[in-house]
Structure 1
Amino acid sequence: MQDHLPQVRARSLLAIAILLAIIFAGAAIVVAQTRDLRSIAMREGVLVIYSATDENEASDLLRAFSARYPFIKVDYRSLSARDVYDWFRREADGGRNVADVVINSAMDLQIKLVNDRYAQAYRSTESDHLPDWAVWKDQAYAVSAEPIVMGYNPRLLTRDAVPTSHDELATILHRTPALAGRIGSYDPERSPTGYLYVSQDIQVDSDAWDLIAAVGRARPQLFQSSKDMIEQVSSAKLSLAYNIIGSYAFERAARDPNFKVVVPRDYVLMMSRVALIAREAPHPASAKLFLDFMLSREGQSLLEKHHMSPVRLDMAPENKVLAGTNVREVRVGPALMAAIDTMTFERFVRKWREAIGESAPADNQI
């Protein structure tokens, strides 16, 4: 037995040496790739980003990127989720390519752009650190992981009136007539982000339409952004807002005693902001450097400062409120396009309008 020990040790050492060689070779390739992109980006000198993320929320990330690559002038254009999609697609169709990077919380519209060949493939230097659900075809990348939550004003709702789950929200709305007109929700007809969340609720929860009907009977005020709903709750114009983006909610709650967050205990949708590089990006090297930086440990940490949790496998989110909850990640991929099929959307609109007591027009489009 002892005669074989030197051979075993030799094989083990050889295996370790091969593994180290592979690791160092991979690192060398990444360094070389970044160096080549950097050289080209110096000649490009510009990066144009269309994003549905407020510039204030991205400010630390943008400053750090500019500090690392001072030769790239960043033109960051903060738009609504609908405008990000419409402007980018209209410009691309007209042969006027402006945006290099497109970032949107309307995940399904991002996937549609990839499917319709508006994005280019690029394997990020950070790809090995990302979960399978966060990347599709090396073209669509989740850059954050954010829970969809509820928010309320503690001056207006007593503890027993605060829902802790989707089912409880429906029950409370049934038994609390005073909440009529004081509930905020996305308008899924006008907000692609809001439609995404409702359509995901319907897929996850067989009782989702019961909740939608309860919200409808409460005569909700409808919005196109989470931040507007949060502002209305904080100012006591609303008592509660449903299906809001967690990053905005947690950031406001950290500094505002008039706004609190509820993480539903039955299930939590985990959405992502999805980034892609335009197929005809005028500044592709700068775009690739930005995507790599956004997905790097430094970039993810800077996003996390604004409550956009990291997607990287080697980074645990600092926010512990999701511990033990039933998290349902919204996977980046083609399944997202099913809900934005025209006929599916029209059926949804008819049912949605019935739930909130309105008649649906004939020409709705997602």
Structure 2
Amino acid sequence: MNRKITAGSLIAIFIASLFAFPAPTEGQSERDRMIEAAKKEGEVVFYGGFSVSDVAGFIKKFNGKYPFIKVNHLREGAEKLMTRVLTERQAGKHTADVIQARGFPAQVMLDKGVFTKYLSPESQAYPKGFKDPDGRWATMYVQTSIIAYNTKFVKPGEIKNWEDLLNPKWKGQMVIDREETEWFANMLEVMGRENGLRYMRRLAEQRPTMWEGHTLMAQLVAAGEHPIGISLYAPRIEDLKSKGAPVEWVRSDPVIGFLYLVGLADKAPHPNAARLLIDFALSREGQTEVTESRRISMRPDVKPNPPRLVDGLNVHPSNLALARSYDRLYKEFQGIFGKK
């Protein structure tokens, strides 16, 4: 049957074709512009806590996608990194593009305006509590705070939870970091302040030795110098186990998750290259690389190495707002555990 094609029907067909073959979305064109701008910038300055060996694979994978961006990585511990960034800002110097830092120091920098908003499309994959609702940061990885022990001195099942550390037989057998304020603050929040303080005072009566550095303490536990480690990092214990060390860790409740955040520095000299680095860091590919150094990803589609690091655990994300009471909490922690 012949149909008469009118001007009106031609217009209708044209309009329908527009919907059938959509033009590139605004997001796609914005992405293209970002990549072109990043090519002109040519580099990105990344402040973080990764060791040289751990960050090498991450940078290699990033450069596989963006070979035109040189990554300049500066490594500092959490407190030193915070001090460096704030000192540079005070002097009017803005060097960092991307900053990766542990929770409490990161919160101090957030409150001082160090991070600016960048809502990475990759952040949508992360659960609540592991990203900033305002888009200033997302969790690059987590370190879980656990009880570790040497299997030559502690039998499996002897320690099942935090209360078991109060057994008199463990007096003088434990080690704890002298800067463990963030763990202390979050445990008080989970337990309830009064119950938490009561527990901490009883734990301090067990006379744990105070050292500095979680890696060192893990090694001391593995060597048997201190059979039990309080608030060590589970990935480090798993790494020692894989090398034959006689260590194990307790799947207690709760397990505090220390957040290591990544965000865009305000006044970043290379903002477009920085956004691409953040997107990669939070992507499935980037997070898979992060887990190669036994860090824990909070992306649901990326399993840690090994998976038992999170399977069945009640990981309580560190409440960064507690950092605003850091001075008081630090004095409380030192007043309880620092007594001779």
Q: Which TM-score band (shorter chain)?
A: 0.7 to 0.9
Does the aligned pair in 2 maintain the 1:229–1:241 contact within 8 Å? yes
Correspondence 1:102 to 2:121: no
Identity of aligned residues (%): 19
> Distance in 2 between the 1:149 and 1:53 partners?
21
Q: 1:343-358 residue pairs with structure 2 within 5 A?
A: 344-345=328-329, 348-350=330-332, 352-358=334-340
> Distance in 2 between the 1:301 and 1:237 partners?
34
CA-to-aligned-CA distance 1:75-103 (integer Å, 9 cap, x gap): 21221111011001111111111211111
Q: 1:204 to 1:73 in 2, by over 3 A?
A: same
Report the AA paired with residue 198 of structure 1. Answer: F
2:273 to 265, 286, 298: 286
1:183 to 174, 178, 195: 174
Q: 1:130 maps to what in 2?
A: 126
> Distance in 1 between the 2:241 and 2:284 partners?
26
Q: 1:1-366 residue pairs with structure 2 within 5 A?
A: 28-105=25-102, 107-136=103-132, 137-159=134-156, 162-171=158-167, 174-177=168-171, 180=172, 182-188=173-179, 194-206=180-192, 207-264=195-252, 266-315=253-302, 317=304, 319-331=307-319, 335-340=321-326, 342=327, 344-345=328-329, 348-350=330-332, 352-358=334-340
> Distance in 1 between the 2:28 and 2:325 partners?
41
CA-to-aligned-CA distance 1:205-229 (integer Å, 9 cap, x gap): 2443344334433433323321111
Q: Please state how far the C-alpha of 1:295 moved relative to its aligned partner.
A: 0.5
> Distance in 1 between the 2:277 and 2:333 partners?
42
> Distance in 1 between the 2:26 and 2:299 partners?
20
Report the AA paired with residue 309 of structure 1. Answer: I
Does the aligned pair in 1 maintain the 2:235–2:309 contact within 8 Å? no
> Distance in 1 between the 2:296 and 2:336 partners?
36
> Distance in 2 between the 1:152 and 1:176 partners?
11
Q: 1:234 to 1:59 in 2, by over 3 A?
A: farther
Does the aligned pair in 1 maintain the 2:181–2:333 contact within 8 Å? no
> Distance in 1 between the 2:187 and 2:316 partners?
10
Does the aligned pair in 2 maintain the 1:150–1:244 contact within 8 Å? yes
> Distance in 2 between the 1:86 and 1:260 partners?
35
> Distance in 2 between the 1:148 and 1:158 partners?
20
Q: Please state how far the C-alpha of 1:113 moved relative to its aligned partner.
A: 1.5
Q: 1:109 to 1:31 in 2, by over 3 A?
A: same
CA-to-aligned-CA distance 1:2-44 (integer Å, 9 cap, x gap): xxxxxxxxxxxxxxx9xx99xx88x944443332222222222
Q: Please state how far the C-alpha of 1:245 moved relative to its aligned partner.
A: 2.3
Report the AA paired with residue 336 of structure 1. Answer: L
Does the aligned pair in 2 maintain the 1:52–1:79 contact within 8 Å? yes
CA-to-aligned-CA distance 1:94-118 (integer Å, 9 cap, x gap): 111121111112x122122222211
> Distance in 1 between the 2:77 and 2:309 partners?
28
SS of 2:285's partner is: helix
Does the aligned pair in 2 maintain the 1:263–1:321 contact within 8 Å? no
Q: 1:268 to 1:38 in 2, by over 3 A?
A: same
SS of 1:82's partner is: helix
Instruction: Could you tell me which runs of 5 or more consecutive residues in structure 1 were left unpaired when the two chains were aligned.
Output: 1-16, 189-193, 359-366
> Distance in 2 between the 1:312 and 1:228 partners?
29
Q: Please state how far the C-alpha of 1:351 moved relative to its aligned partner.
A: 5.7
> Distance in 2 between the 1:149 and 1:139 partners?
28
Report the AA paired with residue 85 of structure 2. Answer: F
Q: 1:310 to 1:322 in 2, by over 3 A?
A: closer
Moved more, 310-319 or 148-157: 310-319
Instruction: Could you tell me which runs of 5 or more consecutive residues in structure 2 were left unpaired when the two chains were aligned.
Output: 1-15
> Distance in 1 between the 2:130 and 2:156 partners?
37
Aligned length: 318
